[in-house]
């Protein structure tokens, strides 16, 4: 009371001694760049000035205690309270490190104060996103956010990255979050061509849709993790929402152009751990003659041949020889070497030495350049931003690339005082001359390298046609099983060209300051044309082939939102919005294939020696929605949100196609209600509950027939393998979340923790059923999955000394999904199958099985007979296979953590991001097959003297077994061939834990004094790197990679993945 | 229209909500209109049913298209994947040099064929239940079903039978039937079903289309059905005491009459109906070598069919004296290396199996098999008839099938002549050779009769035993575990050495 009195008196005093004082300061943004033309207003007075080009302003004020409100287009408004004339030297706009008072973009593009929300959201600023320029937007989220898990495809730049928020709620389905740009959903899906592992054409990864967005066009990304904050976005948001806000034009000094450019190099991070002691061949023998068994073991492809580097001279495929006319050729040019009597010309033997880098040298240094240029302009009533960006990548695999050009335009216009229009349109062309094939088979060069002796000089395969056989017969060291890897990449190309336009336009009419109506229309449409060429003489397509795929995707979202806000009294404010949405999606997929070329080297559909294979498919889906939101706040300490949405989806049976979403959120800012101890600057509790629904894909309610190709002229149809269900109901996910946010020591230390439970019921699963029932899958509602998780973010300023500062944050994620209930009469639920091993013998698959109280992600497969925890061996010294399914592991991690560090010293800034994933299992085909073939280092054990397997043998009878340790010595080749046999999966597992040095950036801001001289506004140069180091148990492959099978991404399985790459280079950011 | 109404009521609440919050009378009416019109627009769902009707695929089709599919797919799988790539190793027509581990009795579950057969059985069911079906389609469907179920039980033992293919009726975890039930149940068994089907076809006036095997000739279907019935009667004869049905069939005149009645579907020159080996990796082809077993038999017989079935070795051709040589079955690559076996001096399969896309037929059954079956039955006294006549007819039919001329002194060879010594062995061995590539029939016959004697190879992974079945698909463990466990127990363990009923 006394203090208040004094303050009042002071006010009077100040007023009494009225005299104008000039105050100066400078307005800067979060990167310390000056903000020109900002408006500075003395609050409650008509005293306004504008900052100059360098952000400086002066204002004359007669009081010593006053409030300044600073506004500038493109920035958040800031109010600076000045006491006793102490105006700071710099006023920073849009300070991003502050958790307090942060504005985040939530559902439907509505901006909210962060502290008012009942469920967890995380905002990433543009700086965090593109400090280290990455080629896929999704990848830049890896390791940065608690609760978010990112995995990559294996085929380098342009691969699909998968993002999962808060684990997998759904037993089937992609579990991918919804991507929303400026309030309108866009597609992050990958539409895969229906290619088949080991089929005529192997899988190709064409990338996820979200990768088309240029990170430099993004102002911020907000991750809505909980179902609560996502409830308004409808079915696709059950797995969280990635809300992307694009940059808008802002008033800038200079001519308003900003430019960023980077040049990075990619180099292999992983490589199978090859042995370099024994060459190709078998039983210690090898000699090349014709690569089909005409020499000694030259038809075989295993690596149990003669010892290397012993001074041996042996005939090899690239040893010198002559053709039938005596002209010099390579030994592998077998056609010209074969005489009319069938015999071959002689070969001059060459040294039998190891080529330790033969595979590594096949890869090259990848080069990626990215440039983004943007022009900004803004006036009182409009702002414009135009940007052009490009990406040029040459992959680490020869003749693979990715090119992307994007043009984005945002235009905001105020029409009169009440109507404002915002628009954004982005055109992106993405293309590649060749994307590498994935999976197990001849078309993946890693498959070939697995069967390539350690002595073979892969580089000498570069000239990939046999002498005189250009276009007709490739050149190789083995013609039975392999295809020249250079031919694979240079001739058997998988190209694509995708033209995409997405954007939105919205109009908001403010009837009064309380009531506004927004209409918004967004579209995402693209055409993707893919071409698959296969040269004649390749192993999988001896007669060559040509195929064209065309994908036409279109999604239109239209919505209308009416918003009203007001206050009941001084302390209680409320707002209400209601609206509706129509979602329309059509996908048109066609392909045609000339399965065998009539003439070599001509790639056109007309050049077909057999009838064309073709198909066209149209998928349409519509969802109509209505929704409402109500929010209420009590002072700035208690906030309540209620939302309701109802969807009508065309994909569900008409009597069951309506479903609602409800959410309630409560936020309680304790620190604003009570005076806290000095050290606590913020304390906020939040609580939210939500129940959301989900639909399914089109055409899942009625049975159809599939067309088979004709037999002769007889038309053929067959049943689908999926049993449809006319009684499907919508899925439901119920989520409860509690969180706590606290700041200490003037927010130098901040903690944000969340705990949640998601319960998913009535999931729509295409569940595998006994194929003896006539169908292999059944679309059904069923099961209850409960996910409990915990996330924490601790961030703070660790050190601030002079001009040095160190900010660090640690995020921690853990979750466990348990199958809590299965439908009556079902004891286990197969949620998916991955084909890991093919060919005759043993099990061929990994089954993802949900058992009651079992963990989601448990993988089952076959292994060896186990007796008292030991492997049982037969009298032949080989382990005995047991096709009983057993748990091989779980593909989910136990927990994951990210460590994010920022250092700053004067003009220097450094970022270091490390992430750690603990737990999970990887079933590695690279390991299994590399041991079968003998290329891996593991197979060196016992090469000379044989191997005694660790385990027991039955020395009793079948009925009365007695076990004794196995003592039988077996040749290494036989031993590894059987232990890593394709008939079991258990021997090929690895712990998938890893620690990765994810991102490093070191930037130097060139001093303004120098920059001005070269007519620039600002200039920053940096060294950047990503995926620099990896520590993991598995010596062969990156455990983080995804595998593709048919049209699905599969988990926990390495399917002959390509080496992953580290990337490093330079980045420059400038404005002029 | 109903949907529109119901959604209207459901938007009633939000509408009221808006009315309450809009206090401004001036604009109130406008908003009532805007919001309600909009709401009706977005929530109307009357076009949803049409929108969600799959435009890419039919919901009903004529039975003929399903029939074409069932016959041609079953024939192709039987001939290539099953006959050529798997059974030829078990019957020792081919030996592997490295990768085809079935030659070393790592059998696996053969799950792809299990899935294919049940899927085709599902097509048969749909075909029979089609509104435009008739009793001829029904009977032909029953014949194909009987054939496919016999494949299932002969490969795996007890399998889902009467309870199978009922997902449409809500049975997703079918119980397994015993092999005895599958063959012999007087109402539902294969033998009864084939009998009924043949009788139906004999008297029906209905016709069928889409028959890519017999081109709608129902008489041929009758003969096929009866010949199949004879095959299965003989297969189960060890457990039979009454041979009257066999006797009746043998004299019925309703069995296959000649090679013209062979149940086969030709491979064609154009994709996708080509013999797949003609397009396969060269390595896969070279994994199929002539065996010592077949080499010794053909050499003993001086049999000219060898020139069609196999190729002279590369080495012998280079040396100028073409010769056929077989490889011992079941040897690992190390053994082949240690023994210094020159693979250039081992025969590969003949031109018809590799060099042309339409050199072979996809077969279910040949006339020759029936003649050998009659010969065996007569030899064993199950039926009356001239053993030698049946036998010779069988041999001649097989020669004719391979477009080969029977040498004039062929039947004079004491290894061939039915001279009273080892008559049954001679009949069964000729039969065995005639079954190259006809699914797993040769393996079934070896399992049933032990003729010819085949020895597991030195590197076999089955402790020197000859396998008698495939293990059940792992998917059954995963999706039908209770019934799987019961069946496995009844079989004496889900093991490749558990003999089935007719085998015991």
Q: What confidence tens digit (pLDDT) does each residue in A630-673 have?
A: 999 998 889 999 999 999 999 999 888 999 999 999 999 898 88
**How confident is the prediction for chain B on average, in pLDDT?**
91
SS (H, E, C) B214-256: CCCCHHHHHHHHHHHHHHHHHHCHHHCCCCHHHHHHHCCCCCC
Nearest to A285 among B120, B273, B337 (CB): B337
Nearest to A827 among B265, B338, B482 (CB): B482
Nearest to B286 among A480, A616, A617 (CB): A480
pLDDT of amino acid B38: 52
Helix or strand or coil: residue A773? helix
Q: What confidence tens digit (pLDDT) does each residue in B367-416 have?
A: 999 999 999 999 999 999 999 999 999 999 999 999 999 999 999 999 99
Task: State the smallest CA–CA distance between residue A480 and chain B in angstroms.
Answer: 4
B391-395 contacts, C-beta under 8 A, 24 or more apart? B391/B418, B391/B426, B391/B427, B391/B430, B393/B368, B394/B368, B394/B369, B394/B370, B394/B427, B394/B430, B394/B431, B394/B434, B395/B368, B395/B430
Per-residue tokens: B50 = 């049409």
pLDDT of amino acid A102: 62
pLDDT of amino acid B23: 42
Q: Per-residue confidence at B28, pLDDT binned at 50, 70, 90?
A: low
Helices (H) then strands (E): counts for chain B: 23, 4
CB pair distance less than 8 Å for A648 and B494: no
Q: Any idea of the CA torsion for B444, B449, B454, B460, to the nearest 10 degrees?
A: 60
Could you tell me which residues come within 8 angstroms of residue A983 by beta carbon, excluding any fewer than 6 positions away? A837, A841, A842, A843, A862, A881, A883, B101, B106, B108
- Taking only Cα atoms into account, the Rg of chain B, rounded to an integer number of angstroms, comes to 29
Nearest to B271 among A610, A644, A973 (CB): A610
Nearest to A657 among B48, B86, B480 (CB): B48
Per-residue tokens: A479 = 């013609």
Whether the CB of B61 is below 8 Å from some CB of chain A: the reply is yes
CA closest to A342 among chain B residues: B318
CA A688/CA A664 separation, integer angstroms? 6
pLDDT of amino acid A844: 67
* pLDDT less than 70: residues of chain A: 1-19, 31, 44, 46, 73-76, 94-103, 105-107, 109, 172-173, 197-199, 229, 253-254, 836-844
CB pair distance less than 8 Å for A517 and B34: yes
Q: How many CB atoms lie within 10 A of CB A706?
A: 15
Nearest to A770 among B38, B123, B173 (CB): B173
Residues of A in contact with B344 (CB under 8 A): 293-294
Could you tell me which residues come within 8 angstroms of residue A824 by beta carbon, excluding any fewer than 6 positions away? none
CA A714/CA A185 separation, integer angstroms? 45
Q: Give backbone dihedrals phi and psi of A434, rounded to 5 degrees, phi first.
A: -160, 125
Residues of B in contact with A512 (CB under 8 A): 24
Q: What confidence tens digit (pLDDT) does each residue in B433-442 have?
A: 999 989 999 9
Per-residue tokens: B386 = 């001239």
CB pair distance less than 8 Å for B51 and A622: yes
Average pLDDT over residues B492-497: 94
pLDDT of amino acid B326: 98
Helix or strand or coil: residue A174? coil
CB pair distance less than 8 Å for A878 and B480: no
Nearest to B334 among A283, A616, A712 (CB): A283
Q: How many CB atoms lie within 10 A of CB A910?
A: 18
Residues of B in contact with A564 (CB under 8 A): 21-22
Q: Per-residue confidence at B34, pLDDT binned at 50, 70, 90?
A: low
CB pair distance less than 8 Å for B159 and A701: no
pLDDT of amino acid B16: 37
- Best of A305, A631, A773, A933 to mutate (most B CBs within 10 Å, chain B): A773
Whether the CB of B48 is below 8 Å from some CB of chain A: the reply is yes
Q: Which residues of A604-626 are buried (b: 16+ CB within 10 A; e: fewer)?
A: eeebbebebbeeebebbbbbbbb
Q: Is the pLDDT of residue B319 over 50?
A: yes
Q: Give backbone dihedrals phi and psi of A994, rounded to 5 degrees, phi first.
A: -160, 160
pLDDT of amino acid A19: 58
Residues of B in contact with A620 (CB under 8 A): 51-52
Task: State the smallest CA–CA distance between residue A296 and chain B in angstroms.
Answer: 8
Which chain B residues in 258-277 lie under 8 Å from chain A, judged by CB atoms? 265, 268, 270-273
Q: What confidence tens digit (pLDDT) does each residue in B198-238 have?
A: 999 999 999 999 999 999 999 999 999 999 999 999 999 99
Q: What confidence tens digit (pLDDT) does each residue in A357-389 have?
A: 999 999 999 999 999 999 988 887 889 999 999
CA closest to B478 among chain A residues: A830
Beta bridge partners of B159: B177
* pTM beyond 0.80: yes
Residues of B in contact with A511 (CB under 8 A): 24, 27
CB pair distance less than 8 Å for B474 and A479: no
Q: Give backbone dihedrals phi and psi of A470, rounded to 5 degrees, phi first.
A: -55, 130
Q: Is the pLDDT of residue B6 over 70?
A: no
Task: State the smallest CA–CA distance between residue B53 and chain A in angstroms.
Answer: 6
Residues of B in contact with A704 (CB under 8 A): 54, 56-59
What is the value of ipTM here, to two decimals? 0.90
Q: What confidence tens digit (pLDDT) does each residue in A4-13 have?
A: 444 444 444 4
pLDDT of amino acid A107: 66
CB pair distance less than 8 Å for A542 and B173: no
pLDDT of amino acid A259: 93
Nearest to B286 among A299, A775, A828 (CB): A299
**How long is chain A?**
1072
CB pair distance less than 8 Å for A773 and B24: no
CB pair distance less than 8 Å for B3 and A654: yes
Q: What confidence tens digit (pLDDT) does each residue in B234-247 have?
A: 999 999 989 999 99
Q: Which of B24-28, B323-327, B335-339 has the highest mean pLDDT?
A: B323-327
pLDDT of amino acid B238: 93
Whether the CB of B107 is below 8 Å from some CB of chain A: the reply is yes
pLDDT of amino acid A6: 46
pLDDT of amino acid A716: 96
Nearest to A179 by CA among A239, A136, A122: A239
DSSP string spanning A243-290? EEEE------STT-EEEEEEEEEEEES----B--SB-SBBTTB-B-SS
Per-residue tokens: A165 = 């928020």
Q: What confidence tens digit (pLDDT) does each residue in A887-934 have?
A: 999 999 999 999 999 999 988 999 999 999 999 999 998 999 999 999
Task: State the smallest CA–CA distance between residue A222 and chain B in angstroms.
Answer: 28
Residues of B in contact with A765 (CB under 8 A): none
Which chain B residues in 122-181 lie under 8 Å from chain A, judged by CB atoms? 122-123, 125-126, 159-160, 164-168, 171-174
Whether the CB of B45 is below 8 Å from some CB of chain A: the reply is yes
CA closest to A542 among chain B residues: B279
Q: Check if the beta carbon of residue A206 is closer than 8 Å to that of residue A530.
A: yes
Residues of B in contact with A625 (CB under 8 A): 42
């Amino acid at each position: 009371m006394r203090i208040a009195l004094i303050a009042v008196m002071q006010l009077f005093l100040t007023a009494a001694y009225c005299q104008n004082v000039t105050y100066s300061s400078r307005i800067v943004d979060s990167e310390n760049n000056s903000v020109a033309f900002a408006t500075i207003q003395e609050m409650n007075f008509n005293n306004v000035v504008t900052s100059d080009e360098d952000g400086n302003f002066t204002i004359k004020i007669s009081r010593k205690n006053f409030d300044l409100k600073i506004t500038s287009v493109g920035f958040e408004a800031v109010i600076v309270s000045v006491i006793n004339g102490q105006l700071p030297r710099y006023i920073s706009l849009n300070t991003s490190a502050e958790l307090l008072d942060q504005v985040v973009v939530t559902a439907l593009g509505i901006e909210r104060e962060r502290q008012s929300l009942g469920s967890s959201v995380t905002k990433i600023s543009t700086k965090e996103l593109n400090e280290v320029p990455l080629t896929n937007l999704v990848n830049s989220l890896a390791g940065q956010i608690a609760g978010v898990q990112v995995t990559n495809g294996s085929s380098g730049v342009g691969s699909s990255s998968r993002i999962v928020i808060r684990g997998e709620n759904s037993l089937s389905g992609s579990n991918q979050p919804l991507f929303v740009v400026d309030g309108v959903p866009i597609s992050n899906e990958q539409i895969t061509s229906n290619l088949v592992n080991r089929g005529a054409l192997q899988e190709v990864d064409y990338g996820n849709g979200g990768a088309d967005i240029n990170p430099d066009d993004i102002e911020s990304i907000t991750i809505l993790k909980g179902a609560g904050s996502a409830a308004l976005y409808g079915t696709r948001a059950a797995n969280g929402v990635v809300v992307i806000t694009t940059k808008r034009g802002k008033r800038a000094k200079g001519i308003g152009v900003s430019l960023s450019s980077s040049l990075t190099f990619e180099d292999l991070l992983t490589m199978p751990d090859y042995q370099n002691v024994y060459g190709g061949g078998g039983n210690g023998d090898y000699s090349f003659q014709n690569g089909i068994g005409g020499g000694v073991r030259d038809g075989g492809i295993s690596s149990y041949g003669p010892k290397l580097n012993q001074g041996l001279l042996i005939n090899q495929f690239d040893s010198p020889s002559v053709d039938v006319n005596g002209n010099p050729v390579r030994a592998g040019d077998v056609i010209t070497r074969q005489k009319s009597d069938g015999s071959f010309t002689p070969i001059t033997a060459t040294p039998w030495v190891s080529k330790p880098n033969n595979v590594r040298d096949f890869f090259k240094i990848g080069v990626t350049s990215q440039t983004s240029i943007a022009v900004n302009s803004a006036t009182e009533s409009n702002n414009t931003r135009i940007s052009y960006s490009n990406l040029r990548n040459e992959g680490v695999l020869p003749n693979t690339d990715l090119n992307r050009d994007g043009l984005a335009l945002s235009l905001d216009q105020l029409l009169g005082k009440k109507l404002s229009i915002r628009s954004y349109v982005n055109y992106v062309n993405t293309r590649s001359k060749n994307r590498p094939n994935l999976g197990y088979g001849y078309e993946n060069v890693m498959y070939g390298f697995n069967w390539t002796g350690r002595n073979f000089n892969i580089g000498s395969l570069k000239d990939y046609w046999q002498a005189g056989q250009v276009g007709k017969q490739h050149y190789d060291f083995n013609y039975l099983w392999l295809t020249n890897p250079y031919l694979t990449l240079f001739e058997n190309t998988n190209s694509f060209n995708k033209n995409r336009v997405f954007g939105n336009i919205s109009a908001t009419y403010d009837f009064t300051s309380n009531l506004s109506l927004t209409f918004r229309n967004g579209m995402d449409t693209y055409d993707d044309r893919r071409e698959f060429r296969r040269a004649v003489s390749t192993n999988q397509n001896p007669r060559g082939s040509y195929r064209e795929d065309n994908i036409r995707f279109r999604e239109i979202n239209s919505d209308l939102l009416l918003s009203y806000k007001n206050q009941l009294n001084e302390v209680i404010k409320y707002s209400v919005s209601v609206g509706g949405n129509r979602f329309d999606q059509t996908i048109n997929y066609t392909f045609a294939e000339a399965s065998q070329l009539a003439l070599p080297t001509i790639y056109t559909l007309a050049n077909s020696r057999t009838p064309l294979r073709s198909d066209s498919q149209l998928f349409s889906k519509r969802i109509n929605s209505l929704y409402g939101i109500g929010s209420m706040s009590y002072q700035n300490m208690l906030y309540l949100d209620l939302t309701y949405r109802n969807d009508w989806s065309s994909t569900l049976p008409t009597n069951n196609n309506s479903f609602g979403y409800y959410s309630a959120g409560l936020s309680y800012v304790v620190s604003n209600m009570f005076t806290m101890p000095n050290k606590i600057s913020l304390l906020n509790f939040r609580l939210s509950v939500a129940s959301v629904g989900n639909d399914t894909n089109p055409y899942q309610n009625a049975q159809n027939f599939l067309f088979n190709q004709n037999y002769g002229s007889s038309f053929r149809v067959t049943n689908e393998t999926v049993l449809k269900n006319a009684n499907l109901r919508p899925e439901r996910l119920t989520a409860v979340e509690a969180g706590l946010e606290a700041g200490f020591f003037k927010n130098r230390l901040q903690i944000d923790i969340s705990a949640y439970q998601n319960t998913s019921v009535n999931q729509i699963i295409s569940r595998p059923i006994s194929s003896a029932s006539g169908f292999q899958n059944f679309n059904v509602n069923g099961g209850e999955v409960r996910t409990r998780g915990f996330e924490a973010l601790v961030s703070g300023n660790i050190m601030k000394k002079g001009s040095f500062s160190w900010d660090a944050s640690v995020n921690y994620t853990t979750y466990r999904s348990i199958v809590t209930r299965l439908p009556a009469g079902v004891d286990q639920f197969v949620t998916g199958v991955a084909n890991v091993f093919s060919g005759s013998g043993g099990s061929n698959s990994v089954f993802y099985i949900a058992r009651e109280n079992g963990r989601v992600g448990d993988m089952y497969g076959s292994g060896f007979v186990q007796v008292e925890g030991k492997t049982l061996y037969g009298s032949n010294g080989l382990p005995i296979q047991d096709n009983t399914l057993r748990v091989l592991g779980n593909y989910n991690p136990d927990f994951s953590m990210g460590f994010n560090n920022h250092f700053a010293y004067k003009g220097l800034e450094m970022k270091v991001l490390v992430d750690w994933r603990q737990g999970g299992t990887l079933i590695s085909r690279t390991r299994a097959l590399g041991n079968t073939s003998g290329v891996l280092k593991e197979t060196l054990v016992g090469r000379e003297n044989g191997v005694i397997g660790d385990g027991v043998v039955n020395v009793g009878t079948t009925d009365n077994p007695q076990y004794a340790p196995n003592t039988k010595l077996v040749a290494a080749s036989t031993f590894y061939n059987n232990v890593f046999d394709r008939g079991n999966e258990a021997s090929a597992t690895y712990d998938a834990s890893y620690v990765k040095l994810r991102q490093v950036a070191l930037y130097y801001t060139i001093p303004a004094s120098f920059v001005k001289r070269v007519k620039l506004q600002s200039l920053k140069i940096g060294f950047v790197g990503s995926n620099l180091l990896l520590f993991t148990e598995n010596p062969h492959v990156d455990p983080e990679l995804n595998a593709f099978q048919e049209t699905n991404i599969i988990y926990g399985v390495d399917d002959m993945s390509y080496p992953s790459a580290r990337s490093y280079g330079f980045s420059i950011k400038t404005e002029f | 229209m109903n949907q529109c109404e119901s959604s209207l009521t459901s938007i009633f609440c939000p509408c009221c909500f808006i009315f309450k919050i809009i206090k401004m009378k001036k604009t109130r009416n406008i908003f009532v209109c805007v919001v309600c019109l909009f709401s009706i627009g977005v929530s109307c769902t009357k076009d949803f049913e049409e929108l969600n009707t799959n435009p890419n695929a039919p919901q009903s089709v004529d039975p003929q298209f399903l029939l074409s599919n069932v016959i041609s797919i079953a024939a192709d799988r039987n001939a290539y994947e099953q006959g050529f790539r798997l059974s030829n190793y078990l019957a020792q027509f081919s030996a592997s040099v490295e990768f085809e581990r079935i030659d070393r009795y790592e059998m696996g579950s053969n799950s792809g064929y299990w899935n294919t057969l049940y899927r085709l059985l599902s097509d048969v069911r749909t075909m029979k239940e089609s509104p435009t079906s008739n009793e001829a389609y029904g009977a032909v469907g029953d014949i194909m079903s009987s054939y496919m179920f016999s494949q299932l039980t002969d490969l795996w033992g007890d399998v889902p039978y009467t309870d199978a293919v009922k997902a449409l009726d809500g049975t997703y975890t079918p119980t397994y039937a015993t092999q005895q039930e599958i063959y012999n149940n007087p109402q539902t068994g294969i033998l009864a079903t084939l009998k009924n089907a043949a009788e139906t076809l004999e008297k029906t006036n209905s016709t069928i289309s889409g028959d890519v095997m017999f081109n709608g000739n129902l008489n041929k279907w009758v003969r096929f059905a009866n010949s199949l019935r004879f095959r299965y009667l003989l297969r189960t004869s060890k457990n039979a005491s009454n041979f009257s049905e066999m006797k009746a069939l043998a004299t019925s005149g309703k069995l296959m009459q000649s090679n013209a009645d062979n149940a086969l579907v030709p491979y064609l020159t154009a994709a996708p109906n080509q013999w797949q080996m003609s397009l396969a990796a060269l390595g896969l082809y070279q994994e199929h070598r002539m065996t010592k077993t077949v080499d010794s038999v053909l050499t003993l017989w001086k049999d000219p069919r060898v020139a069609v079935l196999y190729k002279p070795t590369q080495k012998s051709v280079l040396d100028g004296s073409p010769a056929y040589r077989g490889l011992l079955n079941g040897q690992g690559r190390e053994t082949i290396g240690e023994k210094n076996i020159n693979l250039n001096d081992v025969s590969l399969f003949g031109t018809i199996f590799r060099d042309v896309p339409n050199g072979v037929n996809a077969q279910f059954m040949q006339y020759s098999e029936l003649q050998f079956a009659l010969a065996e039955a007569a030899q064993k006294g199950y039926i009356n008839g001239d053993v030698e006549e049946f036998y010779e007819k069988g041999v001649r039919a097989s020669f004719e099938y391979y477009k080969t001329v029977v040498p004039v002194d062929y039947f004079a060879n004491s290894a061939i002549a039915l001279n009273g010594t080892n008559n049954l062995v001679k009949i069964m061995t000729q039969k065995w050779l005639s079954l190259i590539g006809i699914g797993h029939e040769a393996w079934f016959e070896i399992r049933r009769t032990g003729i010819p004697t085949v020895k597991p190879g030195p590197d076999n992974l089955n402790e020197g035993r000859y396998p008698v079945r495939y293990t059940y698909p792992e998917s059954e463990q995963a999706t039908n575990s209770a019934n799987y466990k019961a069946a496995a127990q009844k079989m004496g363990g889900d093991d490749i050495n558990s003999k089935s009923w007719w085998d015991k």
